[in-house]
Amino acid sequence: MYRRAALSQYTNVDIETKTQVQDPHHLIFLLFEKGCSLLRQSQESLKQDDFEGFSKSANHAMQIVIGLRGVLDLDKGGDLAKQLNETYTSIAASLFKAIGEKDPVAIEKLYLAMSELKEAWETVK
């Protein structure tokens, strides 16, 4: 238990450090990276019948997707921002359904979609 608490504190410090020194572009990349990691965690939790872990990681991934949608500037972002808004909305809806159904195939598809978005984001600067 102590190990888990120490690891959690380290993770929080690491996140705080990264967010204080990184530019906004890199912060979005970190959100994609964390979202992908959480979707993988949710898959592993399902394989182990750890439904509490699944729920926690999948819901956290949902918060990230909603957060990504929330930072879009639809007024200044033009068509790209509108398309991303639709994409994030679709991912969030699909993730909501996958969580309810505990569907590992759907989670894998969502992981692939988030990975593609992360890779695309890496090329933008």
pLDDT in tens, 29-87: 999 999 999 999 999 999 999 999 999 999 999 999 999 999 999 999 999 999 999 99
Question: Domain coordinates of the chain in residue numbers?
Answer: 23-123
Task: Check whether 27 has a pLDDT greater than 70.
Answer: yes
**71 and 28 Cβ atoms separated by less than 8 Å:** yes
pLDDT, averaged across the chain = 87
- Widest CA span in the chain: 49
Sign of CA pseudo-dihedral 81, 84, 90, 92 = negative
Task: Check whether 9 has a pLDDT greater than 60.
Answer: no
- Class of 23-123 per CATH? mainly alpha
Q: What is the mean pLDDT of residues 9-37?
A: 73
**Which pLDDT does position 24 carry in this prediction?**
86
Rg, C-alpha atoms of the chain: 15
**Which pLDDT does position 23 carry in this prediction?**
84
